[in-house]
Amino acid sequence: METADLIEMYRRMLVIRGFEERVAVLYRDGAVPGFVHLSTGQEASAVGACWPLRDVDVITSTHRGHGHCLAKGLDPLGMFAELMAKDAGTNRGRGGSMHIADPRLGIFGANGIVAAGLPIADGAALAAQLRGNGSVAVAFFGDGAVAQGAFHEAVNLAAVWRLPVIFCCENNGYAEFSSAASQHAATLEQRAAGYGVGYIGVDGNDVVAVAEAMAGVVTGARTGNGPSILEAVTHRWHGHYEGDPQRYRTQEELEALATHDPLIVHKRRLLDAGVSSAELGTLEVLVANELDAAVAEAGALAEPSSESLHQYVVAAREPRAEPPAPPSDATVFRTMDAVRNALEIELETDERVFVAGIDVGDGGNVFGLTRGLRERFGDRVRDTPISETAIMGVGVGAAMAGMRPVVELMYVDFLGVCLDQLLNQAAKLPFMTGGAAEMALTVRTQFGAGRSSGSQHSQSLEALLAHIPGLSVVMPSTPADTYGLLRAAIQDPNPVIFIENRLLYGMKGPQPVPEHVLPLGKAAVVRPGTDVTLVSVSRMVHESLAAAEAMASEGVSVEIIDLRTVAPLDMPTVLESVRKTNRLLIAHEAVVPFGIGAEIAASVARDALDHLDAPIERVG
């Protein structure tokens, strides 16, 4: 390796060490809010792992991610400002220490959820594989993350698809307060063999050793060799977090850390190579001065304004007019046809779109909705293992990489096994990156009581999802709406959960023109009336229509509103109807307590109480 490269490695490690030393002081003095997890002592693994990477390559990081971000090229000034919660911070002051990211530099985010970045790295790697651009993804994780299901799902999926991803374990010997020896019954090398992926172990305190090892696995990943696991054994100089009393570590262990200092190890190499101590001293002063200047400049920056609190939660949607409904004499098609047709046209017209999920490819979906798509679109329609966390994470990572993934959750009831990737990743990353993260992700799923499905296959969980800021939730009731809303969801810049009712898959209705795309967040008045407003969604719209027909024979005129989208709610349409009818009934398939009906009732009680002639009622 050239001497100039060795000096640059030293400079990068000095930046990380100096950055963390200053953050420790800032945190002590109250200038940095929230938790802080420093990477002091792990500089060599960060710099070495990022050394062979290009700008277009992607990394995902951990809650101890400052070093990774700096090693990938992030500006210390922006990072200092971010930690101080300044508006000019890397993420507009919304990410903080644990969530620094800059997707434009391939930094897909430090992450406060252990192991959450690994499935996201799979998604970035899949985007690279589909584009064939030779880029790779690197997922940093600590030894403690190996106990997480997300680790196993991500590594297995990467192995099955031979993704260009390197899983880089910084083994510092501790999972928070517990020693690694007490956490794992098998070594990482043994686990790698079990998944059929390559493994290489390296001294994580030797930046050259890490860089050379990474160069080999990165080249292999670029050329189609699939994923690898690299384990860099290193040391964590500070506690799990700043202020951690570290009672679980002996004094002898703490005193011995200096003997493994990666900066001292590398400085000795430079001196042996003929670099003068004066030259290295000049470099050390230069880096220190630059960091001191960055701290001072960051401290003088402004905080975000209170008016900006809700920015970046939902990306702006292009205004979309309501298209004409299909004529009654149009060709008849089924809801299941609408799903397939919408997916087909989006795959056909946008190369960024792909479909992934359990049995969606060769099996054509458990309900046959995607039959024929794999034969036509090849690897853009792909089967996954039964690994819901990995499936959702692939969607998140690919969306951040600029793709428009459509991933399937077979039943909405399975939400519990992958909720983190929706709750803490898809919904929050656009906000926590100050709007820098793309998240045009569509999650197709289905629900429906009936047909003896049982309690684990018949729940209505839309209210749980609608409660998460950043997620949009769509629930169509007709074949035409299914087609128009699914196309809108795939084209939308936000993460959209598209919930179909399986009891409607065989329902028939007029087929709209291929260009039919509906606006998200806009309800439809599907039956005008004057005496009572009935708000419903999905299959219950048809039950409501039947009830309204029965009431008409008794002289009661019922106006029915099909919400179509439950997040965001179209309250203006509901309020306009209530002010006309003066009564409100809400019907949904979910249980009544804490359902979407409660939100609608509360909003009407606040904004149209004077127009109500009777109590609001809910049916569920």
| CB contact at 8 A, 596 and 463 | yes
Q: Which tokens in the block code for residue 246?
A: 């570290």
Known catalytic membership, residue 152: no
Which residues are registered as beta bridge partners of 9?
none
Cα angle vertex 152, ends 147, 156, to 5°? 165
| CB contact at 8 A, 13 and 234 | no
Q: Pick the catalytic residue: 68, 457, 516, 588?
A: 457
CA neighbor of 108 nearest in space, from 335, 315, 400:
400
Q: Which tokens in the block code for residue 360?
A: 């969606």
| CB contact at 8 A, 562 and 551 | no
Positive or negative torsion for Cα 358, 364, 368, 371? positive
CA neighbor of 420 nearest in space, from 223, 153, 45, 237:
153
Strands (E), 426-577: 442-447, 472-474, 496-501, 508-510, 524-527, 532-536, 558-562, 565-567
Q: Give the DSSP letter string of 60-102.
A: E--SS-HHHHHHTT--HHHHHHHHTT-TTSTTTTSS-GGG--B
Which residues are registered as beta bridge partners of 311?
none
* Cβ-count burial 71-88 (b if 16+ within 10 Å, e if not): bbebebbbbbbbbbbbeb
Length of the chain: 620
Provide the annotated active-site residues.
Answer: 457
